Amino acid sequence: MIADRLQRIGHSTISTVAGFGRAGLMLFGALLGKPDFRKGFPLLVKQLYVIGVLSLLIILVSGLFIGMVLALQGYNVLVKFGAEGMLGPLVSLSLLRELGPVVTALLFAGRAGSALTAEIGLMKATEQLSSMEMMAVDPLRRIIAPRFWAGVICMPLLALIFNAVGILGGHLVGVEWLGVDAGSYWSAMQANVDLYQDVMNGVIKSLVFALVVIWIALHKGYDAVPTSEGISRATTETVVTASLAVLGFDFILTAVMFGG
Amino acid sequence: MLSEILIDIQGLSFSRGDRPIYRAMNMQVQRGKVTAIMGPSGIGKTTLLKLIGGQLKPDSGKILFEGRDIPRLSRSELYQARKKMSMLFQSGALFTEMTVFDNVAFPLREHTKLPESLIRRIVLMKLEAVGLRGARDLMPAELSGGMARRAALARAIALDPELIMYDEPFAGQDPISMGVIVRLIRELNNALGLTSVVVSHDVTEVMSIADYVYVVADKTVIGEGTPEQLRNDPSPLVQQFLRGEADGPVPFHFKAAAYQDELMELTR
Ligand SMILES: Nc1ncnc2c1ncn2[C@@H]1O[C@H](COP(=O)(O)OP(=O)(O)O)[C@@H](O)[C@H]1O
Ligand SMILES: [Mg+2]
């Protein structure tokens, strides 16, 4: 009984560690060696489009609505203390420090991460990766690396766009609709937001989330069982694992950045 | 002087996990000939091609390609060797996001510094050889199964390899495209001076184009020879495979308890 359970724990521990090892090797193989800019740059641009530009719409819409909801909820509380002038800082700080990076990463995992896993899993299942290897072209360099860099570049930018749109959404609801003074919305925001403490820390957060999400998405695709069920399972796993990892890292980073 | 033997496999053993796929197998592929490897599905034919291509490493034994042991090559030597071989995968494995033209041009653009005008000329020549020059602007999804395989064939010969390995080239083809592919394999082999390895379980087609045939079963070679020699092979295993009989030395039934015993168990 107990031996059985111990064995199961041991087995899952070993396979988890082995999974980390394979994921590490994959990234290592993709990023090691001198990059070939002549061939790599067009591939990167294409992925920037696929991963970044195509995620733009969902980021814009979500950012707008989150900003509007924040303003609405925040106003209802602040107005009780006659502090509706602080709506600007409330909206902007919530977005910059937390919601921008986190929600962007979650949306990114759902939109781009799942698509990447499915794409690479499918390339594996249809032997495209194998045949590339047989043509003496390394699929890690050719397929994995440009997607990795594109994700790492895109996500912080998407998070910044999310923040900007969210702040505008807050303005829309707070100022245009609920009648908070426009001057105080913006000037209180200016006075309370610190470039390093708030903006940069948010960017660092989303950079970390980008690494985590894109790494998980690429690894799950590359490691997928090359069948239809295998790919669908890998896609689900990407969204679940990446989302949980983002929330976990968010707590750790928040504790380090704002805890003291 | 070029050696007559392009691939020499000596004492090859390979297992997937605990399951042995090959045990001490020997096989030779003559330069300029069409060598066929036949055997039932799941016996490890695709695995063998991947071993030759260096995608998998054997547990023991040698796989000599032009006298060099593939599993022992360094990464860059292996990549050098792979430029001389190409493999036609079962599904064709065309890159789905590129046109037929770009698929065929892919190895040229990766491995040569040829100007685009010359690449264009080579690609059209290769596509003409497989009869798909008119389909150059189509995407792989728009091709029929037979056309996809021919397009993949054009890509496989783009760099003028020494060796081309076909994985189940006849599987799932209608009779017409089957005939086309049979003819193409033979013609390319003769016209380009290629060495061809054809892996298949389609007995008639293979026997019609191969110069030399290996029959693989039970983790090793059970019969070999020219098609003529094989037809007269006394081994019952070889005969069962060639005639496609359901039962024989290779049993039809998967290993199980005696049927009667299981029925008795149910009634109990
Ligand atoms: N990636 C893999 N991992 C584990 N087992 C595999 C893998 N690929 C193939 N096999 C197993 O190895 C055996 C040989 O497979 P394969 O070479 O594809 O056979 P064939 O091409 O002769 O049909 C099969 O039983 C298959 O289940
Ligand atoms: Mg096979």
For residue B255, the model assigns a pLDDT of 67
For residue A38, the model assigns a pLDDT of 79
Structural domains counted in chain B: 1
Q: A115 and A26 in one domain?
A: no
B191 alpha carbon to ligand 2 midpoint, in Å? Answer: 27
CATH, residue B234 = 3.40.50.300
Report the gap between the CA of A131 and the closest CA in chain B (Å).
7
Q: A73 and A24 in one domain?
A: no
Report the alpha-carbon distance of residue A192 to residue B20 in Å, rounded.
68
Partners of B216 in the β-ladder? B221
Q: What are phi and psi of B240, to 5 degrees?
A: -60, -45
Residue B41 Cβ contacting ligand 1 at under 6 Å: yes
Q: What are phi and psi of A149, to 5 degrees?
A: -65, -40
Q: In chain A, what is the greatest distance between 2 CA atoms, to the nearest angstrom? A: 70
Q: A65 and A16 in one domain?
A: no
Tens digit of each residue's pLDDT (9 = 90 or more) over A110-148: 999 999 999 999 999 999 999 999 998 989 988 999 999
Identify the residue whose C-alpha is closest to ligand 1 atom 6: B16
| CA distances to A88, A92, A190, B216 from A75, in Å | 10, 13, 18, 77
Contact A193, A93 (CB under 8 A): yes
Quick one: which ligand is closest to B89's CA? Answer: 2
Q: Domain span at residue B185?
A: 5-97+161-244
Section A104-110 average pLDDT: 95
Residue B45 Cβ contacting ligand 1 at under 6 Å: yes
Q: A54 and A25 in one domain?
A: no
Which are the contacts of A185, defined by CB distance < 8 A and separation ≥ 6?
A85, A87, A88, A170, A171, A174, A175
Q: A149 and A27 in one domain?
A: no
For residue A85, the model assigns a pLDDT of 87
For residue B251, the model assigns a pLDDT of 61
Tens digit of each residue's pLDDT (9 = 90 or more) over B122-175: 999 999 988 899 888 999 999 988 889 899 999 999 998 999 999 988 887 888
For residue B119, the model assigns a pLDDT of 94
- Closest-CA residue of B relative to A129 is B93
Across all residues in chain B, what is the average pLDDT?
Answer: 87
Structural domains counted in chain A: 2
Alpha-helix residue ranges (DSSP H) falling in chain A: 2-31, 37-47, 56-78, 87-93, 100-108, 114-125, 128-134, 139, 145-171, 182-192, 201-222, 228-258
Q: A174 and A198 in one domain?
A: yes
Q: A253 and A210 in one domain?
A: yes
Report the alpha-carbon distance of residue B242 to residue A135 in Å, rounded.
34
CB of B82 less than 8 A from some CB of A:
yes
Whether B175 is in a domain gets the answer yes
Whether B265 is in a domain gets the answer no
Q: A101 and A1 in one domain?
A: no
CB of A130 less than 8 A from some CB of B:
yes
- pLDDT band of residue B252 (cuts 50, 70, 90) is low
Answer whether residue B253 shows pLDDT above 80: no
- pLDDT band of residue A149 (cuts 50, 70, 90) is very high
Q: A250 and A196 in one domain?
A: yes
Whether B64 is in a domain gets the answer yes
Contact B215, B221 (CB under 8 A): yes
Q: A190 and A159 in one domain?
A: yes
Report the alpha-carbon distance of residue A6 to residue B49 in Å, rounded.
41
Tens digit of each residue's pLDDT (9 = 90 or more) over A157-188: 999 999 999 999 999 999 999 988 899 999 99
Answer whether residue A9 shows pLDDT above 60: yes
Answer whether residue B267 shows pLDDT above 80: no
Q: A191 and A174 in one domain?
A: yes
CB of B111 less than 8 A from some CB of A:
yes
Report CB contact under 8 Å: A127, B93. yes
ipTM: 0.82
Answer whether residue B1 shows pLDDT above 50: no
Partners of B36 in the β-ladder? B198, B213
Whether B257 is in a domain gets the answer no
Tens digit of each residue's pLDDT (9 = 90 or more) over B171-203: 878 888 888 888 889 988 988 889 999 998 888
Which among A97, A210, A105, A100 is positioned nearest to A153, based on CA atoms? A210
DSSP A17-60: HHHHHHHHHHHHHHH-S---HHHHHHHHHHHIIIIIGGGHHHHH
Which among B250, B253, B268, B204 is positioned nearest to B36, based on CA atoms? B204
Whether B254 is in a domain gets the answer no
Q: Domain span at residue A173?
A: 37-258
The long-range contacts involving B230-237, CB below 8 angstroms and separated by at least 24 positions, are B231/B207
Contact A80, A179 (CB under 8 A): no
CB of A40 less than 8 A from some CB of B:
no
Whether B127 is in a domain gets the answer no
Tens digit of each residue's pLDDT (9 = 90 or more) over B73-128: 998 899 999 999 999 988 888 999 899 999 999 999 989 889 999 999 999 999 99
Answer whether residue B23 shows pLDDT above 80: yes
Of A39, A127, A137, the CB nearest to B89: A127
Section A22-36 average pLDDT: 81
Q: What are phi and psi of B196, to 5 degrees?
A: -120, 140
Q: A127 and A88 in one domain?
A: yes
Which of B45-59, B67-81, B253-267 is least confident? B253-267
Report CB contact under 8 Å: B55, A130. yes
